[in-house]
Structure 1
Amino acid sequence: MLTLEALVLQQDDFCLTADWSVAAGERVALIGPSGAGKSTLLMALAGFLAPAQGRILWQGADLAGVLPGDRPLTILFQDQNLFPHLTLTQNLGLGLSPTLRLTQAQEVQIETALQRVGLGGMGGRKPGQLSGGQQGRAALARALLRARPVLLLDEPFAALGPGLKAEMLDLLDEVAMATGAAVLMVTHDPSDAKRFADKAVLVAEGVAQAPVATAELFANPPQALKEYLG
């Protein structure tokens, strides 16, 4: 279980609080106005921002002092975290070995993951040779390889058209099922939240509110969400 215990995040005059938990396998959408702190919250969970107060716990253990690469999570950003000078095999290989000294068994793992997301045989290509949708698939293949118990996504499919984005959300669903990961996904699109996430967190007015059923949140939106949705 991932727990945000009386968490306070502070950056200059910006402050965000959160006090809730996410169980293994849960899918949670983070939604709210731009600048409300959704990405900031993910950065704190990933270890790039230290809490001003409170704790971030995984299975009851405080993650304070745990380096980003050693945390039990994978994070995907809008740029898909792919290094342009590396091939797909190398990009995915970083998730298994930071030195890229891959064993034959690891190379087989990588190709299997690429096949699973529809990129079989493309391991030798570089990100610039791929479409946006293919880059998203590659990023999900790396998440599949890493198989960390928490997956954080910061609008990774925002630049895609509606049809392709729906396809990627379905693929994300498959990856989450395969790894059993708890997923926290930042989105500005209510339809994405409804399609993928069982629960949703409203981030607004300095608070990341406790997760509630996604359908319930949009059926009875609080004033801050009404204003955001327009």
Structure 2
Amino acid sequence: MRRLLPTYAETVDLPAAYAYPEGRPWLRAQMVSSADGAAVLEGRSGGLSGRADKRVFALTRALADVILVGASTVRVEGYRPPEIRPEFQPLRAGRPSAPPLAIVSRSLDLDLDDPAYREAEPRTIVVTARRAPAARLAAVREVADVIVAGEDLVDVGYAVDALVERGHRRLLCEGGPRLLAEVAAVGRLDELCLTLSPLLIAGSAPRILNGVALQPAQRMELAQLLEEDGFLFARYVRAPA
């Protein structure tokens, strides 16, 4: 993998290139898009990926304290408990062997027999609203930790604060597009790591943020650009106010 920006280099120290900033909580999103802006291919983001993208995806997981993800993405993408590649395991020194999933669901329409709940170590966190179905909430508590954030709908900003209070200062959001749009809308998106796949999709696939338009639009600055096998790996950070 080579670095194109901010300075050119033929080789890249990936853990250093994706290191979290020190001194404050930081929420990073990791997403992939086709060259024409599609967030999925045949219903899944995995179809847009490649070897280098999978390596970056594995690295950002290894660096994170927690992985924030929507319940629909867990179902569609077939999530399992996170496992860290051996090459990145030293990055977990002093922390649990893998970051927990924090799964956002208002309805709690979850398959609680799924390995993402039954086999997760550390224990999966489910983020929901106070008016979630009581019976479902009781069942969820048997297999996962629970954060109640909001009344009728999940308050994503409150959820992020609650995760930080639990010690998860390096947050990674893996989407999907609806959840990521909500994270941006409440002003919590500090960084976007975007893989641009050299594919054209067309059709009606959603963008990586799929929700109400941001008012005003959020300005991002390009901090880094890497390339391998025609894939571009951009790191955008939120511009100062």
Q: Same fold (TM over 0.5)?
A: no
Question: TM-score if structure 1 supplies the norm length?
Answer: 0.39
Question: TM-score if structure 2 supplies the norm length?
Answer: 0.38
